[in-house]
Amino acid sequence: MHTVRESSLCHFRAVTVNDAALQPVTAPGLQDKAVALSDRVHWIGALDPTLRSFDIILKTANGTSYNAYVVRGSEGVAVIDTVKEGFSDVFFQRLESVTDYSEIKYIVLNHLEPDHSGALPELMRRAPQARLFISQRAQTMLKALLKHDAFEFTPVMTGDSISLGDRTLSFLHTPYLHWPDTQCTWLVEERVLFSGDVFGCHYCDARLFNDSVGDFRFSFEYYYAHIMRPFREFVVQALELIEPLDLHCIAPAHGPILRDRPKQYPAHYRRLSSPMLHSETGHEKTLLIFYISAYGSTARMAEAVYAAVSEVEGVRASMYDLEGGEVAPFVDLIEEADAILIGTPTINGDAVKPVWDLLSSLAVIPTRGKLAAVFGSYGWSGEAVRMVEERLRGLKMRVPVEGLRIKLIPTSEELAACDKFGHAIARELTGMQEDRIVEMA
């Protein structure tokens, strides 16, 4: 097993019941000890201060942490999450500083991604009597990650709970935050929410607690933007479960432990899960046309389509030249749009880079079910329209109106086809299209 050492620059607090002792401790002998959240709850995670990118998609300017916890009840101990495999040694050292393996009654995994399940096989080998609890959606993932069926586990749902005697763990089903398997675990008597990736961030600071660490606000919002924003509707569903809890502390799987004013974090998620740009169009459907044009032909098509969709009652259309804008604001616009139309020429058998730049930036917003269509002028082959249609379908958008391709400069008849194309899309968008029968037999 590859072992990673935490940086010697990291500062640690000793195990303590008294949370008043918040000053970082640098004594090397204390570095592999657990850290107390209370006399019954300890942090046994690992710090990874040298990590500079996470899951490829996230920058981590000062590394991250893999938080895991131990809960002690009158009738046994539960371990909540583990760490990335390379950090197993320090995880087990911290675990051993507060419990014996024979005491472990339960293991709970809130999220199976390898940075949280890496030490699971070894933990189960060391504590074979422990029962493993995962979410309903985690079952097939567990087998795929660990590559054998020998593990026994119990799937749980919202409302299920397990007892440690005088301490109770209750489960909240919070899927897609950030994988389908994710769940939260609520320690009832201590009012601690072990939230998994929710309310987490990649911010490595050995002082651990939000009232002691450096300024992690950017990291928190950056993490939300890349991990949670694509699943905004699931964030809102999860908040419905979390907001009623009388939170004393949120213990996420990455970043600072949120013991100071913990309720502000669900409130902040509530704000972040609101659309970046609020719709101001009332009951009208919003349709955005993004185009780019080398010699003006695709632009003329865009203008004709724009004029057509603007004629239809109930549609609020906007048009943008990709050449004149940055991608990020367009992504914010698309998040709230009901339909997007892409106008792209074909150059060297492909759509042009600004189009792909936009379409490769949409993974951070929900696009499922949005209406989409493509048009463009071409010189001799015209592949771009079909290629972009496939990409839009890949983003789980609906593409019911076949893309419109025009060779070189559009004629008046071809501009009439743009008008017809625009009206067809507007009818789809407003639900005014007539019921159709299509023969495919």
The residues binding other proteins (CB under 8 A) are: 136-137, 139-140, 368-369, 393, 396-401, 428, 431, 433-441
* The two structure tokens encoding residue 292: 């780019």
| Per-residue buried b or exposed e for 183-219, using 16+ beta carbons within 10 Å of the residue's own CB | bbbbbeebebbbbbbbbbbbbbbbbbbbebbeebeeb
**CA 263 to CA 344: how far, in whole Å?**
47
CB of 347 to other proteins, least distance (A): 27
CB of 309 to other proteins, least distance (A): 17
Q: Which is nearer to other proteins, 401 or 415 (CB)?
A: 401
Q: Which is nearer to other proteins, 44 or 312 (CB)?
A: 312
Q: Which is nearer to other proteins, 52 or 396 (CB)?
A: 396
Dihedral angle sign, alpha carbons of residues 198, 156, 72, 130: negative
- Residues 263, 268, 274: CA angle, nearest 5 degrees: 135
Beta bridge partners of 319: 289
Distance, CA of 230 to chain centre = 6
Q: What is the DSSP letter of 12?
A: B
Q: Which is nearer to other proteins, 184 or 373 (CB)?
A: 373
CB of 161 to other proteins, least distance (A): 19
CB of 440 to other proteins, least distance (A): 5
CB of 298 to other proteins, least distance (A): 22
Q: Which is nearer to other proteins, 191 or 368 (CB)?
A: 368
Kindly report the number of other CB atoms within 10 A of residue 162's CB atom.
Answer: 20
Q: Which is nearer to other proteins, 28 or 431 (CB)?
A: 431
Q: What is the DSSP string of 275-317?
A: -SS---STTSEEEEEEE--SSSHHHHHHHHHHHHHHTSTTEEE
Nearest to 213 by CA among 221, 201, 224: 201
**CA 59 to CA 53: how far, in whole Å?**
4
Nearest to 213 by CA among 263, 178, 252: 252
Q: Which is nearer to other proteins, 159 or 324 (CB)?
A: 159
Give the CA-trace dihedral at 309, 312, 313, 314, to 10 degrees.
Answer: -40
CB of 404 to other proteins, least distance (A): 14
Q: Which is nearer to other proteins, 25 or 287 (CB)?
A: 287
CB of 371 to other proteins, least distance (A): 8
Give the CA-trace dihedral at 281, 282, 285, 289, to 10 degrees.
Answer: 10
CB of 436 to other proteins, least distance (A): 5
Q: Which is nearer to other proteins, 382 or 400 (CB)?
A: 400
CB of 403 to other proteins, least distance (A): 11
Q: What is the DSSP letter of 344?
A: -
